[in-house]
Structure 1
Amino acid sequence: MEFSRCLYIISEALATDDLAALKFLSLEHIPLRKQEGIQEPKAFFQALQEKGLIEVGNLAFLKELLYRINRMDILAYQLGCSREEMEKELQIPGRAKVSPFRYLLFQLSENITTEELKCFKFLLGRELPKSKLNTENTMIDVFIEMEKKGILGEDNLKVLKTLCEKVDKSLVKKIEEYELNLCGEEEMLITEGQSGNIGVTEAHARRLTSSVAPDSPDSHSESSQLEVYKMTSRPRGVCLILNNHNFARARAEAAELKMNDRNGTDVDAAALKKVFSKLHFEIAEHKDLTAEEIRNVVNIYQCEDHKDKDCFVCCILSHGKKGIIYGVDGQEVPIQELTTSFTGRNCHSLAGKPKVFFVQACQGDARQKGVTIEVDSGEQDSSVETDARFQFDCIPSEADFLLGMATLQDYVSYRSPSQGTWYIQSLCQHLENSCPRGEDILTILTAVNQEVSRKIDKHNAGKQMPQPSFTLRKKLIFPVN
């Protein structure tokens, strides 16, 4: 009963595109003719059971499939398995059951935008029947039809490479990496086979594991480069700016907080809009939001379909303290509540894609007074805390998040009423200068750390140290072109 209940819960959590991906990755084990009658996850699980691929006490293949389609939320919450555990497991020869070829095609389908899919269908107009190239057909559907036609196979990638050359050359690199791995593996198998060191069964297992865990350091040679997040969609995604300036309502409703207006924040917002527009993001600015309005806006973008976007960026400009930001009504919103809204479980269309948060707000009450320099702390008269640090986790443990905090926990951040904040101004300047050079975001944020840490509030010798934290699995680069 526990086994059946587990499969039922997982089936309820899977979306239609998840099922299509699972079926595609299982084609070597469940033939297409059998799959055509499968329209829901429960029927798919039944087919796996009939083939002996999953059973009580053995859900290894299901775990692998969920790992491959990046449903880490189900893997963790329902099957108690982490990404790291799966990567180690799949390094063991013979454990991987999804073929490298099938996984290659799935990865390509995940990296192809809606416009690129239209191009593929147009270019295949003479090869495939028009009925198989309608608007409802996905890239996975197209791959299946290409296999049926005999123009795509494990050792037949010529047509696919030609198409990718015309549509998006970055896709060709993945195919070439697959071919290189395959050739190297086959050469090794031949050598070992001739010397009598390897059997047929183990040779097949080696081939299956040749492209396992592409994001694991162990799956690459030491000289290979770290994989880069896809960043080709137009627009790249939404850049949501939550810009709180006027705190008159907070002063009226919670006079004890004594929150000043955040003069200079519009300078920051303008700089963010300028740089992220150049980086091909769709800008969405919301000003002077209460705590409840912040939650409502975030919920709108959480529920939005981001499947044709490569990234999501959220910039928060407000007063704050440890682990929270303030609405203009003086009410608190935990930062982690906002970031967790965009996990793969809560926003499936952003699963596997980078979610970037920049927070310009104080994270404590330790402050320095100034004349032209103000601090983004909500409580202007609070006592300084230095000996009782409050630890918090602002980003989820799930992958693909980056959180850039203006300052360390417990400390204030500085803002000029005329020139904006130290952190946001430095961030925007470095993004504008470094993105055209192809530098990744962590390199850029390190440069921001260096610049901001050198600044000083001359009136009080105040310093500021930004703090990025992340669960990124790949390099994050924002191309200008």
Structure 2
Amino acid sequence: MEFREKLLMVDQVLNSDDTKALAFLCKDILKCDISSVESPIDLFQRLEEKDVLSEDQPYLLADLLRVIEHFQLLRELDLNSTMSTTVNPITPYRKLLYELSKDIGQKELKNIKFLLNKDLKHSALELNVSTLEVFLEMERMDLLSSSNLLRLEQILKDVRPVLWKQILQFKDSQGKIAQETGVVDHRPRSSSDASRRGKDQTDPPPYPMKAQQRGICCIVNNFDFSRSSGKHKNREGTDIDEGSLRRVFTWLGFQVEVVQDATRDQMLSSMRELASRDHSGMDCVACFVLSHGLKGGVYGVDGGVVGLEELTDLLHGVRCASLRGKPKLFFIQACQGNKKEQAVPVPANGPVNPKVHDQTDGPSSPGVNIQTDGPSSPGDICSDAVVASELLPSTADFLTAMATTPSHVSVRLEEKGSWFIQSLCQNLEQLVPHGQDLVSILTKVNGDVSQMFKRIGGCRQMPQHSSSLRTRVVFPVPEGPFIHKVTFNDSLGEESTV
């Protein structure tokens, strides 16, 4: 039988569910939207164009039929013994997801959709949507990838623990393969693993993270600016950021405390109170300010300005002895001015599309609510001092991460929170289990946020961090399960679930 006759026979035998399974298994090969694959013949033509399927290379066809367990068809086509020892284009990750989908029943799929209710669009949660289609939507929303199985692990641990263990076995096997081949090992690492890795590379050991409690995570969340004499709007969507930070930093072992709608004086007094505590039994401290801002400072809800140096200065070693030698981490979600980031051409292999033109900070469509955390008029912009000047050279162990660069706006979506905070939380969730240090994670955040204009079609944004850290900040891999949902009181005084 000619090879193309074999392909035609496969097309005649397989049903629509088989076609979807084949397309799913080939997604990493095709690198395109597979929803348009209408039949096995359509798929085979695309694979031929990719030079991965031909009469001389029948291995992919045999592997596909083997994975979907059409063994009789394999025998009839005389492909049962066809197996390549050098070519295996179906990724182990894609095979894993397909194997998981076969063991997920309708009741379990319903529970999975329930847990993903706030993450996926409604059409992806309808009754007729299959497990593979849910996986594809999770990938589209950056909730699932070959290097990010954490969310799927969490869900299956609740829905069907035996499948969760299957993922752990897969990750372990992939880690062993990586060690044998010299590929980077992406398995979750313990803090001791991370420390050993640092020593092997002659890097100094990271900051000690051995305390029973990681430290205080203080979140100043300013929403209600009705007292600012009309200078600033209320910060819709900031409750989303607060919920995400609560969830992630509780998971990391921090004691999370929130200061709601603080004036200038209340922000400073809260920081003084934090500095007056005994942190000797803790590893570090993390402070978040979610507010409107301008270059070099942030606004209280009364319109008063607090300089960033005023905030960080209160935790200097002279004023807070119990934090000497420990990381003091500041994260500022606020604008630093009214300027909008501009697109610039880069080489073809660069991260930015040179064809994209300058855009405003308005919504890209009527259904997208985009706000900024900056002053309401150009007159609110202050001097040209850069962020790095806010950290005195004589101070050590400080890190300040800003949502945006000096003079520029930052973006916050009413329905999803701010780009910066949401990217930070997502990357902490994904990379802490892999032993990544905080500065590397923030660099990843920079890259992710810098590309977000492609998905939103509106503003651009470039986060920035500066540091006087003396070594790496590596959070230990949390021992307990990840917290999917955190109930908290948001700034409107209502109960919310994130």
TM-score, length-scaled by structure 2? 0.49
Check if 1:471 corresponds to 2:465: no
Query: What secondary structure, in the 3-state scheme, does the structure 2 residue paired with 1:239 have?
Result: strand
Q: Distance in 2 between matches of 1:457 and 1:382?
A: 27
Q: How many residues align?
A: 261
Q: Match for 2:234: what amino acid?
A: D
Residue 391 of structure 1 pairs with residue 386 of structure 2: yes
Q: Aligned residue for 1:381?
A: 377
Are the aligned partners of 2:411 and 2:419 in contact in 1 as well (CA < 8 Å)? Answer: yes
Q: Give the AA of the match of 1:339.
A: T
Q: CA deviation at 1:382?
A: 2.2
* Paired AA for residue 235 in structure 1: Q
Higher share of residues assigned helix? 1
* CA deviation after TM superposition for structure 1 residue 463, in Å: 1.0
Q: Counterpart of 2:425? A: 428
Cα drift, residue 369 of structure 1: 3.7
Give the CA deviation at 1:395.
2.0
Asked if structure 1 preserves the Cα contact closer than 8 Å seen for 2:362 and 2:458, the reply is no
Matches within 5 A, 1:112-127: none
Structure 2 residues not aligned, in runs of 5+: 1-190, 341-359, 364-368, 480-498
Moved more, 395-404 or 351-360: 395-404
Please give the root-mean-square deviation of Cα atoms over the aligned residues, in Å: 2.8
Percent identity of the aligned residues?
39
Match of 2:292 among 315, 319, 334: 319
Correspondence 1:231 to 2:216: no
After superposition, what is the alpha-carbon deviation per residue over 1:298-332, rounded to whole angstroms, capped at 9, x for unaligned? 01001101000110000110000010000000000
Alpha-carbon separation, structure 1, partners of 2:210 and 2:424: 22
1:457 and 1:331 map into 2 onto residues whose CA distance is 35
Q: Which runs of 5+ in 1 are unaligned?
A: 1-168, 175-219
AA matched with 2:221: N
Counterpart AA for 1:437 = H
Q: The residue matched to 1:248 in structure 2 has which SS? A: coil
Partner of 1:305: 278
Distance 1:390 1:224 in 2: 36
C-alpha displacement of 1:223: 4.9
The answer to whether structure 1 residue 335 and structure 2 residue 308 are counterparts is: yes
Is the 2:294–2:380 contact (alpha carbons within 8 Å) kept by the matching residues of 1?
no
**Aligned residue among 453, 456, 472 for 1:456:** 453
Say which SS state the counterpart of residue 311 (structure 1) adopts: strand
Query: Aligned partners of 2:380 and 2:279: how far apart in 1?
Result: 43
- Taking the aligned partners of 1:390 and 1:345, their CA distance within structure 2 comes to 25
Q: How far is 1:365 from its partner?
A: 1.8
Give the corresponding residue for 1:104. none
Counting only pairs closer than 5 Å after superposition, residues 6-155 of structure 1 correspond to structure 2 as none
Q: Is 1:318–1:361's contact at 8 Å kept on the other side of the alignment?
A: yes
Residue identity opposite 1:414 in structure 2: V
SS in 2 for 1:250: coil
| Conservation of the 8 A alpha-carbon contact between 1:339 and 1:396 | no
Q: Which residue type is aligned with residue 324 of structure 1?
A: G
Query: Aligned-pair distance for 1:460?
Result: 7.5
Structure with the bigger RCO (C-alpha within 8 Å, sep 6+) is 2
Deviations 1:360-418, CA, capped at 9 Å, x for gaps: 000112144414111101x22326979x8333522232111111100000100000011
Kindly provide the CA deviation profile for residues 106-146 of structure 1, in whole angstroms up to 9, marking residues without a partner as x.
xxxxxxxxxxxxxxxxxxxxxxxxxxxxxxxxxxxxxxxxx
Whole-angstrom distance in 1 between the partners of 2:255 and 2:319: 22
Establish whether residue 278 from structure 1 lines up as the match of residue 256 from structure 2: no
Of 412, 424, 435, the residue aligned with 1:415 is 412
Q: Secondary structure of the residue that 1:402 maps to in structure 2?
A: strand
- Kindly provide the CA deviation profile for residues 16-45 of structure 1, in whole angstroms up to 9, marking residues without a partner as x: xxxxxxxxxxxxxxxxxxxxxxxxxxxxxx
CA contact (8 A) 2:295 2:381 kept: no
Q: CA deviation digits over 1:87-111, x for unaligned, max 9? A: xxxxxxxxxxxxxxxxxxxxxxxxx
Conservation of the 8 A alpha-carbon contact between 1:435 and 1:477: yes
Tell me, in whole angstroms, the C-alpha distance in 2 between the residues paired with 1:340 and 1:450: 29
**CA-CA distance at 1:440 after TM superposition:** 0.4
Distance 1:384 1:454 in 2: 28
